[in-house]
Amino acid sequence: MVRKVYQGPGAAARCRREDTALTALAGRLPVATVLARDELSLTVASLPGVPGQDLIGGGRAGPVLAACGRMLRLIHAADPALVEPAARPGRVLVHGDYGPNNTLFSPDGAAVTGIVDWEWAHAGTAVEDLAWCEWIVRMHHPDQVAALDGFFDGYGDRPAWADRQRAMTDRCRDMLALCQRWEPGGPAVARWRDRLRITASWTE
């Protein structure tokens, strides 16, 4: 079992959202089974697999990111109303923090065995998840940026760079605002301010 405790602004709402997502997606996507929930924590069954970032560090960025792309296509094909009943037409189910950091794989990296951390799930646009997976790679694995071609090929689409970068900087601003509300002037504020600056400086 794994027990996740939620902290910071909106913690209870994020806990409820993840519970809703996991319960609704059970049997549809490789997500953990919810065993118990209280206001600020969720207990789920553990999932098999190797963390994607570990596999990328071990030289398997190609298969890992291609599998990320294929799985994201399946996520976006799910009905967003499962998580957000009032979803507007044309929206997709957005994981909200998608990338190899929140994905488990077979040892060779070719197959996704689990997707975790659904607290930011919502009805939104596909570019949000596409851009954030790219952001994870560019920020934490800059030597593997070339492998992103396999990610977009696996997904079947590559939005324009301007749209992807805008989605990245928007998410960085959201995280900066969250940290400012949680701990004004704290180290996380400086970290996300720096990440925003770096993200805005990138070119494709």
User: What's residue 24's pLDDT?
Assistant: 97
Segments in the chain below pLDDT 50: none
User: What's residue 142's pLDDT?
Assistant: 97
pTM, whole model, 2 decimals?
0.96
Give me the DSSP letters along 57-119. Answer: HTT-HHHHHHHHHHHHHHHHHS-GGGT-TTPPTT-EEE-SS-SGGGEEE-TTSSSEEEE---T
User: What's residue 7's pLDDT?
Assistant: 96
The SS3 call for residue 162 is helix
Closest CA to 112 of 100, 95, 94: 100
The answer to whether the beta carbons of residues 113 and 144 sit under 8 Å apart is: no
- 17, 33, 59, 175, 184 from 97: Cα distances, Å: 13, 19, 23, 11, 23
Q: What is the CA radius of gyration of the chain?
A: 16
User: What's residue 17's pLDDT?
Assistant: 97
